[in-house]
């Protein structure tokens, strides 16, 4: 199932801390990926599924592939917003598109696309997502 083009539905606020920056005072490139990971985790939590609960049910989400394009740097103390949306939903995987914006300037800093697979924690083999979670993601897709 593919999503139509539209606004990414989930937002997560991030503040840039000293530990996020490099020697030049800008956010180190890999930390944008961390910000997006946190936003995906919070998007999942907003649907009623904490990663810890999924692990207890022997399920994990693992990143299969990641792609990022960097547009502008973020700096110490910047307030950022990570926008996250599911753009493709399959039985045991989904594709997220994400964008990080400077909150005050509404400037696009980084965007990414991530394929995430649902796997059994004990075997790391693909596993269908719980029906209720898949339905929640499907509702997001149809709302776009």
User: Are 110 and 71 contacting, i.e. CB atoms less than 8 angstroms apart?
Assistant: yes
DSSP state of 129: P
| pLDDT (0 to 100) of residue 140 | 77
Average pLDDT over residues 19-47: 96
Whether 22 is catalytic: yes
CATH numbers and ranges of domains, the chain:
10-143 (3.10.129.10)
Whole-number Å distance between alpha carbons of 61 and 41: 10
Using CA atoms, how far apart are residues 39 and 83, in angstroms rounded to an integer? Answer: 8
- The residue from 22, 77, 106, 122 that is catalytic is 22
Quick one: pLDDT at residue 142? 67
d(CA 77, CA 18) in angstroms, rounded, equals 8
pLDDT at 136 > cutoff 60: yes
* Mean pLDDT across 35-62: 94
Region 23-36: mean pLDDT is 96
Say what the pLDDT of residue 130 is.
93
What's this model's pTM, rounded to 2 decimal places? 0.90
Segment 61-86, tens digit of pLDDT = 999 999 999 999 999 999 999 999 99
Q: H helices of 10-113, where? A: 29-46, 51-56
């Amino acid at each position: 199932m593919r999503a139509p083009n539209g606004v990414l539905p989930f937002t997560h606020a991030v503040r840039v801390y000293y530990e996020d920056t490099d020697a030049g005072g800008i956010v180190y490139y890999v930390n944008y990926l961390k910000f997006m990971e946190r936003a995906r985790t919070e998007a999942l939590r907003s649907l009623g599924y904490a990663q810890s609960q999924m692990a207890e049910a022997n399920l994990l989400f693992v990143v299969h592939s990641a792609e990022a394009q960097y547009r502008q740097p973020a700096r110490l103390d910047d307030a950022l917003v990570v926008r996250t949306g599911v753009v493709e939903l399959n039985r045991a995987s989904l594709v997220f598109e994400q964008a990080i914006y400077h909150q005050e300037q509404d400037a696009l800093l980084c965007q990414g696309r991530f394929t995430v697979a649902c796997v059994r924690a004990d075997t790391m083999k693909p596993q269908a997502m719980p029906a209720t979670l898949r339905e929640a993601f499907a509702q997001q897709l149809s709302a776009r």
